[in-house]
Amino acid sequence: MSDQPHPNGNLDLLARSLAAVWHPCSQMRHYEKFPLLPIARGEGVWLYDHNNKRYLDAISSWWVNLFGHCDPRISSAITDQLGKLEHVMLAGFTHEPVVQLSERLRELAPEGLGHCFYASDGASATEIALKMSAHYWRNSGKPDKTQFISLENSYHGETLGALSVTDVALFRDAYGALIRQQTTVPSPDSRKAAAGESAEDYALRCADALEQHLQRHHAQLAAFIIEPLVQGAAGMAMYHPVYLRRARQLCDRYEVHLIADEIAVGMGRTGTMFACEQAPQLSQPASVQGTKGITPDFLCLSKGITGGYLPLSVVMTHDEIYQAFYGDEMARGFLHSHSYTGNPLACRAALATLDIFTEDNVLAMNRNKAAYLNEIAAPLREHRAVRHWRNTGMMWAFEVQSPHADFAQRCFTLVLENGLLLRPIGNTIYFMPPYIIEEPEMDVLVNRTLRIVDQLS
Ligand SMILES: *Cc1c(COP(=O)(O)O)cnc(C)c1O
C-alpha cells in the first residue's frame, strides 16, 4: 500500500483491479488518466468510497437499483431464502419463489401475458424473445418469417443475437462481421421532429414509415422489437406513446410479433408499472386516463426486477404463443436454457421488490417526487446551454451545448468531484435516481448538476 491514499480511496485495490479485472464497456488504457472509483459500501442513494467520501447514485447503478443500496427488506428476503434453498435447476424441477413470482407478474403485466420464461440478464431475455418468435412462426407453418426490425438507435443488449437488433455504431462497426444485422425503421425520438411539428405528429409520421416497411417485408418478418417510450442507450430518447398504439395495430395487421423490451423502462420507471400501459387509444386524446394500454406478444424485463440486487430476467408471453410449442415432439418445444434459470434467491429479491411497490405505494409516491424535481429543476431547464429538457416518470434527460469535444469524460470527472454519480451519453446528461430519493437529495442533485453545466458550457 502506498502512503498517499488515492483521492477517491484505496490505491491498492485500484492497482489490483487494473491488473486482474477487465472492466466492461471500457478502453482499459483510459483508466490511466481517469482512475476507477473503488466503492466500499452503499446505503440508500449513496455510494461510499474508501475515504468515506459519498456519491449520490443518480443513475441507479446502470439503471438497476430501485430502492437504494442495502435496503433491509430486500436483503432480509434474500437472507431468508439462503437458509432454505439457494438454487435448483428449473428443467424438471420447480420451487415456490419462481411460481409465486410468475403468478404475481401475470397479475401486474398487460393483460394476457400469462407465461414466464426466465434467464439471468437482459441480453438473454432479448435472445429468448427473438428465438421464441421465430420458432413460433416455424411451428405455425411459416418458416420464412425469420427476420426482425428494430428502431433506429435501438439498444437491446450485446450478445450476438441481441446485437443484431441493436443500432449503436460503435458496436455495429466492431462486430458487424459476426452478426446478421437486421433492418431499422425511423425512431419516433421527439428531438427529431421537424420545426413546428408536435411529438405526436412526428410519432405518427414514423408509424407511417413502419407501415410501409411492414407492407413490403412482412412475409419474412418475425417480430418488431422496441423499447417502449424511452430509448435508453440512444441518449434517453423519449417519444409520444401514440407510436406504441400504432405499432401494436400495424403488427397485428401484418402478422408480425411485437416485442416490448422493458428491461430499462419496466418496473415503474416511466411512471406506470410498465411503459406499455401508457399507449393511448387512437380514438381518444393521449391525456385520457383509464385506458389499458397495449399487450405486446413478448414483454422482456430485467434490471430493476430484483431491485438491482441479483441478476434475473424474464420474458412474458401469451397463450397463443405458448400453445404453438405445446405437443409431443421435443423439437416443437422451446429449446433454450441457462444454468441459473429462475434462481430462487433472485426470485425472492424480485418478490420483495414487488412487495415494496405495494407497501410504500411507490407509483403514487414517485409522481410527487417527479413533480418536486421538475419544480426545482427550472433553473437547469432554462439554462442557456441546456437543450431538449425532457422527463418521463422517474427519468430526466437534456443535452448540454459545450465547446468540449470530450464532454462526457470531463463531465464524468466533474460529477465525481462534486459527489455525484452521473454517466453522460455523449452530450446527454440524464437522471435516473433510485425511487427512494428524498427532497434534500434531489436538491443536491439539481444544484450540483447546475454548477457542473455552468463549468462545462
Ligand atoms: C440494459 C438493457 C439490455 C441488456 O441487459 P443486460 O442485462 O445488460 O444484458 C437490453 N435492453 C435494454 C433496453 C437495456 O436497457
pTM: 0.96
State the pLDDT at residue 7.
60
**For residue 344, pLDDT beyond 80:** yes
Residue 294 lies in a domain: yes
**Where in the sequence is the domain holding 48, given as residue range(s)?**
37-70+361-456
Confidence of residue 285 (pLDDT cuts 50, 70, 90): low
Residue 158 lies in a domain: yes
- Please tell me if the CB atom of residue 263 comes closer than 6 angstroms to any atom of ligand 1: yes
pLDDT tens across 168-213, in order?
998 888 999 999 989 999 999 999 999 999 999 999 999 999 999 9
Residues 188 and 108 reside in one and the same domain = yes
- Please tell me if the CB atom of residue 156 comes closer than 6 angstroms to any atom of ligand 1: yes
**For residue 70, pLDDT beyond 60:** yes
Rounded to an integer, what distance in angstroms lies between the CA atom of residue 268 and that of residue 394?
8
Residues 46 and 105 reside in one and the same domain = no
Domain end point (choices 327, 359, 391): 359
Rounded to an integer, what distance in angstroms lies between the CA atom of residue 357 and that of residue 104?
12
**For residue 388, pLDDT beyond 80:** yes
Residue 98 lies in a domain: yes
Q: Kindly report the three-state secondary structure assignment for every residue of 150-205.
A: EECCCCCCCCHHHHCCCCCHHHHHHHHHHCCCCEEECCCCHHHCCCCCCHHHHHHH
Q: Which residues contact 244 (CB under 8 A, 6 or more apart)?
A: 226, 228, 229, 275, 276, 278, 279, 293, 294
CATH number for position 142: 3.40.640.10
Rounded to an integer, what distance in angstroms lies between the CA atom of residue 297 and that of residue 13?
46
Residues 248 and 373 reside in one and the same domain = no
Residue 42 lies in a domain: yes
Residue 327 lies in a domain: yes
For residue 231, give the amino acid letter. Q
CATH number for position 66: 3.90.1150.10
Domain end point (choices 324, 340, 359): 359
Confidence of residue 3 (pLDDT cuts 50, 70, 90): very low
Cell 441459473 sits on residue:
340
pLDDT tens across 120-136, in order?
999 999 999 999 999 99
Tell me the pairing of strands 230-231 and 221-226.
Answer: unpaired
Question: 306 alpha carbon to ligand 1 midpoint, in Å?
Answer: 14
- Please tell me if the CB atom of residue 232 comes closer than 6 angstroms to any atom of ligand 1: yes
pLDDT tens across 148-161, in order?
999 999 999 999 99
160, 164, 263: residue to mutate for ligand 1 pocket, most atoms within 8 A of CB:
263
**For residue 2, pLDDT beyond 50:** no
Task: Give me the number of domains the chain comprises.
Answer: 2
Residues 295 and 227 reside in one and the same domain = yes
Domain end point (choices 294, 326, 359): 359
Question: 432 alpha carbon to ligand 1 midpoint, in Å?
Answer: 15
Residue 113: all three cell numbers together: 401475458
State the pLDDT at residue 11.
79
Question: 122 alpha carbon to ligand 1 midpoint, in Å?
Answer: 4
Question: 52 alpha carbon to ligand 1 midpoint, in Å?
Answer: 31
Residue 312: all three cell numbers together: 434475473
